[in-house]
Chain A
Amino acid sequence: MKRKLEASELIFKIISYTLLTVFALGCLYPFVYAVSASISGRHAVDYGEVVLFPKDVQFDAFRRMFNDNMFWNSYSNTLFLTVYGTVWALGVAILGAYALSKKRLLFRKFFNFYLVFTMWFSAGIVPQYLNYLATKKVFNGIGIMDDKWLVVIAMGMAAMNIILLRNAFENVPSEIEEAAIVDGATEFGVLSKVFIPMSKSTIATVALFFAISRWNGYFWARQMISNAHEHPLQVFIRLTLEDYTNSETMAGWNEVYASDSVIYALIVCSIVPILIIYPFIQKYFAKGTNAGGVKE
């Protein structure tokens, strides 16, 4: 009896480790290949001699990227959108969630439904597009010519994030709030001195969600930002790739790097910053999925 039990367990363990290793390496491989291909020599990349490790190492593809003003421009635009977009969306969401977490708020049910309905039904791409166009006209009318502000203000709000914050605020014990009120705190004081410090980790998670969606935002930024100098990184990557697909060449005939290497270098450049901060944000991300969505 004992022997058989150990055998079945052992077999399952071996299978688990094997398949996990295969899957994990499979997840990793495209990144490793992208790095290798971006720093390998022209002939090696063009003729498919790079499989895992780089061959005939060169850094000219990266140098080309770093010498491209549009690349740095798009990076700074993405930073702009991420920082201001997150601050704006988080600010609006915290204030709204605080008000919604109060039982004494009149028409509370209606306001909750007002948010939740947008998660069920969206008007779709075309109406959204017409709406953003109209907004853009209004913004231009009052003197905001930089379309990045349109992206910051009008896009990226998510009802789900407000609801996550609201749930966190509802879990703050009311005794602490009452004590603060007795001490003479105003509504805003209660929010900033009691509620925000007590829900720090949820706020960090929600801020992360906003920041990620801003960093990754592509479609509407491309539709709405007309000046190429204002394009964020994602749009720049895609336009470069489309350029390459259409012309089939990226590198001049006398360069030491292959056309593919330029694209891979660009991909690597856009992933590296995320990899650097990844260890710090991972725990908030994991927390987000557990809290995300499911509410008792």
Chain B
Amino acid sequence: MRDKGADFLIFDQASGTYRESPEQMVRDDVEKHYWLHVGRTILKDWRLYLMLLPTILVFLFWRYLPMYELLGAFKVGDQVKSVSEQYFAGFSYFKTLLVGGGTGGLSMEFWRALRNTFLLSFYGLCFGFPMPIILALFFNEVRSNIARSVYQVLTYLPKFMSTVVMTSLVMMLVKQGSLTSGAGIVSRFLARIGLISEEMANAGLLNNPSFFRGIYQISGIWETAGYDSIVFFAAIIAISPTSYEAAQIDGAGKMAQMRYVVLPSILSTIVIMLIMRIGSLLNIGYEKVLLLYNNNTYVTADVVSTFAQRYGLAGAQKGIASAAEMMNNVVGMLLVIGANTVARKASNVSLY
């Protein structure tokens, strides 16, 4: 515990040598009795540590203890037994998932789930990400505060539905026709304008794998675009009016103002949001997929967490399921940490 200053030695006049300074002796004492010191500090401030205790315990019990159960990904044996009583199987589950062997279909399904996870996020990045930015630009054009509030309230609204209500509504709007009732209103509309055929509408769009991704993205935009525009809109209204005036005096038209005034001002926000979005490419919410997909649409809809849910919870292959999700989550974690580091380097802003 040597301090930066050079006061750890003092020159002893009498003997003509250096010896330890009293300050350093205290420091050495603290170092020697480090844990005693820690104990004393905690005792003195016990109220503070008592306040921290519930948080520590909640996270220990329900966030960290589950990670111990991940050992199940390396073990075989009686599923009823606890993880510690099972036998080690090494990486056999991972091998089954990645290169097949044994039950071959699993590997195919796992890769399909991984691909779907990536694609759903990637399409979200392509179509879902620009929407809030465009909306924010449009909000900025509305000069009347009342009109803008009306637009904002209407577009934020879907965000306040739960996933269950949102997916229920979507399922009803594109539902299949039956003997007693017709197809959902949106399917019928799409059939009327000729985008899909009558038969497709009557079979139910959610039963058709080729529509799943589209429904997922459009419902995602419906749900979040308005709400996500808040952060971009805040960046746009922070632009000083003088910047626009200066541009106008220089003869900039609307497009030029967009290009040279607005975009540069919100670029840092866009970059941060983009990086964060890329960081969470593999962390796709399972609830929405789970609620929207069915066994007709596994081809395009099955993601890694629903794969794990199907085999681990509905089925009884807990080891396989754990292994699949673990691979997904480890890669996902690396992406998040990478994105966060890049964002911090780029702009001194970090998510955590």
A residues sitting closer than 8 Å to B (CB atoms) are: 1, 4-5, 8-9, 11-13, 16-17, 19-21, 23-28, 30-31, 33-34, 37, 45-48, 50-51, 91-93, 95-96, 98-100, 102, 104-106, 111, 114-116, 118-132, 135, 154-155, 157, 159, 162-163, 186-188, 191, 212, 215-216, 218-219, 223, 234-235, 237-238, 241, 245, 248-249, 258-260, 263-264, 266-267, 270-271, 274-275, 278, 282, 285-286, 289-290, 293-296
Contact = CB atoms under 8 A, between A and B. Distances in A.
Contacts of B322: 124, 126-127
Contact of A274 (B83, B160, B276): B160
Contacts of A114: 56, 59
A8 B255 CA distance: 8
Contacts of A294: 272, 349, 351
Nearest to A104: B45
B352 A271 contact: no
B33 interface: no
A241 B227 contact: no
B290 A270 contact: no
Contacts of B5: none
Interface of A is mostly: helix
Contact of A24 (B51, B151, B352): B151
A105 B38 CA distance: 11
B84 to A, nearest CB: 12
A296 B329 CA distance: 27
Contact of B309 (A25, A96, A125): A125
Given A106-B41, A270-B165, A249 B180 contact: yes
Most chain A Cβ neighbours within 10 Å, of B51, B157, B336: B51
Contacts of B227: 285, 289
A293 B42 CA distance: 31
Nearest to A97: B55
B230 A286 contact: yes
A259 B69 contact: no
B77 to A, nearest CB: 14
Contact of B52 (A105, A121, A125): A105
Given A28-B157, A218-B163, A237-B165, 6 more contacts: A16-B137, A20-B142, A93-B55, A99-B55, A106-B38, A125-B325
B63 interface: yes
Contacts of A267: 165, 168-169, 172
Chain B interface size range: 35 or more
A263 B173 CA distance: 11
A96 B51 contact: yes
A257 B138 CA distance: 41
A50 B230 CA distance: 34
A114 to B, nearest CB: 7
A17 B154 contact: no
Interface in B275-318: 276, 286-287, 290-291, 305, 308-309, 312-313, 318
Interface in B45-59: 45, 47-49, 51-52, 54-56, 58-59
B128 interface: no
Contacts of B226: 27
Nearest to B283: A122
A106 B230 contact: no
B224 to A, nearest CB: 11
Most chain B Cβ neighbours within 10 Å, of A111, A118, A123, A154: A123
Interface stretch (B16-24, B97-105, B107-115, B246-254): B246-254
Contacts of A238: 164, 168, 291
B251 to A, nearest CB: 6
B313 A48 contact: no
Interface stretch (B6-14, B119-127, B181-189, B209-217): B181-189
